[in-house]
Structure 1
Amino acid sequence: MFLPLGMKRSGTVVKDLKDNNLSAAHALIDGKMQVVEPSILDMTGAASSGTSTASDMAKLILMLLNKGSYGGKSILKAETVAEIFKRSMVSKIEFSDLPPISETTGFYYGLGVDSYDYVGHHIIEKGGALAGVRTVMTLVPDKNAGIVILANLNLTAFPEAVRAYYLNQLLGIDPEAEQKEILARNVQLKQLLAPPPAPANPGKFNGTLQSLVGIYENDYYGRCEILPDGDALKVQCGPAKYPATLKHWSNGAFLMLFPGATQAPASTTFAIGEDGKADSFATEALGIFKRVKEKK
């Protein structure tokens, strides 16, 4: 679809960024703005992310608003665009769903897009956030209007603030109506990745770190190995041995932290078997990993 739309600077993998005219990803680390490495999700391609520019995205928006046509050519069938926009699943409103999205607008999933109802209009949207990047594309089909906001900073409500201002202005509402709430929520967003405060009196881990060492497996993520690291532990996941730290927190609960500006420590607990070794571990982010039994 990129080729017939003339989206020459767009792709689905990081290697598509072939020139130096690109934005650097940024994140607030320890209160300071820093350049960070972009997320590399090339293995899952378009199922995870895309690379593009504002001008290229404008072509995509025009095609979708024109029911699949662009520049006098049919890129997608009109019924295909209608199917993409159709509501397939109801979703609950999450903390990161900022105004004008609310319990009164509802929130739904379509085929690769989201949607909600706002003052009598069906809004089509697609947002995303990766390391140092936060974006949103918003369409109002019955107004033949749309906007895309690309921010090279994660954990910022800037795209949603611009989106809300644009929608309200377009639909005849005070553009400033929700800005104060969005700015207040922006402060909370920045706290999402902050580590939890240290417990005043952390409880002890009654087992041994050695009892946790071993290879564990998850049907979706594959294998992760927990290894001794001096007087602590470390984790290596997948064939690339993607690293994480693992530190005891309190009462047998550990914190697992992978590298990256958008990673938060994940609470990790272990189930100990009759032999005194961990049978499995569970994290809030990745689910349950079961120990791979040694062959005798």
Structure 2
Amino acid sequence: MARLDQAPARRLRSAAALGLVGALAVAGCSGLDNTAALRAAPTPTSELSSAPPAQPPPSLTRDKVDAAVDQLDEVVQDAMRRTGVPGVAVGVVHDDEVLYLKGFGERKAGAEGKVGADTVFQLASVSKPVASTVVAAEVGGKTVGWDDPVVKYSPGFTLKDPWVTDHVTLADLFSHRSGLPDHAGDLLEDLGYDRSYILEHLRYEPLAPFRASYAYTNFGLTEAAVAVARAADTSWEKLSEDKLYGPLGMDSTSSTFADYEKAENKAVAHVKQGDTWKAAYVRDAEAQSPAGGASSTVRDMAKWLRLQLGNGKFDGKQVVDGEALAETHLPHIVSQPPPAPAGRTGFYGLGWNVSYDDQGRLKLGHSGAFELGAATNVTLLPSENLGIVVLTNGSPVGVPESISSTFLDTAQTGGPTVDWLAFLGPLLQQSAEGERSETDYAKPPKDATPAKEDDAYTGTYANDYYGPMTVSVEGDELIMQLGPKKQRFRLTHYDGDTFSYSTTGENAVGLSGVTFTVDAEGRAEKVRVENLDANKLGTFTRQ
């Protein structure tokens, strides 16, 4: 959830924006606290995290929770009516009982097939607290420790700073405090690179102060999870099945994209085009499976909620060590500072957003989103033994967060304290609009300088991080090719030696710039791709 970007060109939607939304909706205001860098010696999680305040006795009676559950149908239908999101599924757990499992709407807009409790959805970033549960099982089994250096299990893992490489731990990567920049590696995934390539190339990313700065990184967390699987001599996907999905009977849950794809009863991704929601894209998040590639149903997720609220127990059996699981619920880094003197600080734990309310009660939550068509949320009040999970098959507009927040408000106060959908939806839209280039490449200047001849730009360009780029002429168009599959992008002249292209994938931001640096002989020697240059890695050099 709580993720705010430090670089204007970096993507916010699907992560940082949802972080802010989740913090406001579920965990109170949260943010980033720039404490001094801890560079002198490794700091174990036991020193960085502290036990939460003693939890008050439960204050929510079953009658209050039941009253909120009774209103859930109306809450969900209202959110769907106001946004048009095609499908929603909701599960509620209280006192180790599943009180509500229900689906609404369509698995695919305009096609047969209704959403139900057994419809498989992509979890997006709700995969993260699921992943930390799997790791907690291995920590409890003494296979690994949260404070173990990643290089202990992944000897080839390298970051830009050798000291950080040697000291960064599993907990550092699961709490986004490694110093890796926001969403490091995500643009490589958009270009079609696989997990191994992306993890190997994190070494080029610039680092912020270690353990003193928070930045949300899907592939940092993925590296930690893969290291744990390596320690257990298996794959992440198999480890998740063996340690969590199998023992809980989460028979429709998987960490492989292929399992989601072959599920007959699945909700497909939708994006809004004009006034209509369409199943236009397929989001394959296999490369970042631990961070965003799991899929599940609300029936299965309700079992996981019971495990979380039961301190690792499920149906009377201790499936995950309680102490190892409790560590995931503790604050490990400040993720968002209070916006005002009386505001609340937001924290990130190990795969969880962590906060405390006015009564000192622990609140846990996480949102997930694919701009290509999924939005999810899970929220827990452990002291009340209460949890809710909301899965949707539409790109993020605030629906899962507003449903969760309205339900919790209703359980505690008898009704919502604010129109959460009206409050949260515009925040997401505002953040999304803020990610686009400041230059309107659709409107070249009237006095634009003509481009040079095509052969000034054509050729092959090298980049250690993104790999090679080729620029060629096809017909009367310049074509840029990037990535292992040689994705093709048409270059449209804007002004002088600057062109534009339409970005694609999960991190698309509309039109972005491509600027060639031409030498004295009129031949391009370098080219900078604006959308790829947020971390100053987007310049390619002619070979």
Does the alignment reach a TM-score above 0.5? yes
Shift of 1:62: 1.2
Aligned residue for 1:111? 350
Change (3 A) 1:89 1:204: farther
Shift of 1:292: 5.0
Shift of 1:184: 4.0
Once the two structures are superposed, residues 213-239 of structure 1 have per-residue CA deviations (whole angstroms, 9 ceiling, x without a partner) of 344455444344333344333333322
Q: Please say if residues 216 and 289 of structure 1, whose CA atoms lie closer than 8 Å, have aligned partners that are also in contact.
A: no
DSSP 3-state at the match of 1:43: helix
Aligned residue for 2:16? none
Which segment is superposed worse, 159-168 or 110-119? 110-119
Change (3 A) 1:192 1:13: farther
Change (3 A) 1:127 1:79: same
Unmatched segments (≥5 aa) in structure 2: 1-243
Distance (whole Å) between structure 2 residues aligned to residue 218 and residue 11 of structure 1: 35
DSSP 3-state at the match of 2:324: helix
Aligned residue for 1:182? 424
Structure with bigger strand share is 1
Question: What is the RMSD of the two structures over their aligned residues, measured on CA atoms?
Answer: 3.2
Distance (whole Å) between structure 2 residues aligned to residue 193 and residue 269 of structure 1: 17
Q: Please say if residues 245 and 258 of structure 1, whose CA atoms lie closer than 8 Å, have aligned partners that are also in contact.
A: no
TM-score by length of 2: 0.47
Q: Does 1:289 align with 2:538?
A: yes
Q: Please say if residues 203 and 251 of structure 1, whose CA atoms lie closer than 8 Å, have aligned partners that are also in contact.
A: no
Change (3 A) 1:147 1:214: farther
Shift of 1:13: 2.1
Q: Please say if residues 481 and 487 of structure 2, whose CA atoms lie closer than 8 Å, have aligned partners that are also in contact.
A: yes
Once the two structures are superposed, residues 234-290 of structure 1 have per-residue CA deviations (whole angstroms, 9 ceiling, x without a partner) of 333322223444434456554433445773225334361535414241434564234
Which segment is superposed worse, 168-177 or 214-223? 214-223
Aligned residue for 2:509? 264
Change (3 A) 1:221 1:85: farther
Once the two structures are superposed, residues 68-92 of structure 1 have per-residue CA deviations (whole angstroms, 9 ceiling, x without a partner) of 1112222221122122122222224
Q: Does 1:10 align with 2:253?
A: yes
Q: Please say if residues 463 and 540 of structure 2, whose CA atoms lie closer than 8 Å, have aligned partners that are also in contact.
A: no
Once the two structures are superposed, residues 187-216 of structure 1 have per-residue CA deviations (whole angstroms, 9 ceiling, x without a partner) of 647757889854473563565354443444
Change (3 A) 1:15 1:254: same
Distance (whole Å) between structure 2 residues aligned to residue 253 and residue 272 of structure 1: 9
Shift of 1:116: 3.0
Q: Please say if residues 473 and 479 of structure 2, whose CA atoms lie closer than 8 Å, have aligned partners that are also in contact.
A: yes
Shift of 1:176: 4.3
Q: Which amino acid aligns with 1:274?
A: D
DSSP 3-state at the match of 1:86: coil
Change (3 A) 1:263 1:79: same
Which segment is superposed worse, 232-241 or 138-147? 232-241
Change (3 A) 1:123 1:238: same
Q: Please say if residues 27 and 261 of structure 1, whose CA atoms lie closer than 8 Å, have aligned partners that are also in contact.
A: no
Structure with bigger helix share is 2
Aligned residue for 1:236? 481
Q: Please say if residues 36 and 261 of structure 1, whose CA atoms lie closer than 8 Å, have aligned partners that are also in contact.
A: no
Once the two structures are superposed, residues 97-148 of structure 1 have per-residue CA deviations (whole angstroms, 9 ceiling, x without a partner) of xxxx976333322222222334343321121111111111111212211111
Q: Does 1:227 align with 2:227?
A: no
Aligned residue for 1:124? 364
TM-score by length of 1: 0.81
Distance (whole Å) between structure 2 residues aligned to residue 74 and residue 19 of structure 1: 30
Aligned residue for 1:66? 310
Question: How many residue pairs are counted as aligned between the two chains?
Answer: 287
Once the two structures are superposed, residues 155-193 of structure 1 have per-residue CA deviations (whole angstroms, 9 ceiling, x without a partner) of 321112112212222333741414232344466477578
Distance (whole Å) between structure 1 residues aligned to residue 469 and residue 305 of structure 2: 41
Which one scores higher on RCO, CA 8 angstroms, separation ≥ 6? Answer: 2
Distance (whole Å) between structure 2 residues aligned to residue 251 and residue 74 of structure 1: 66
Which segment is superposed worse, 37-46 or 261-270? 261-270
Q: Please say if residues 137 and 147 of structure 1, whose CA atoms lie closer than 8 Å, have aligned partners that are also in contact.
A: yes
Change (3 A) 1:221 1:42: farther
Which segment is superposed worse, 14-23 or 41-50? 41-50
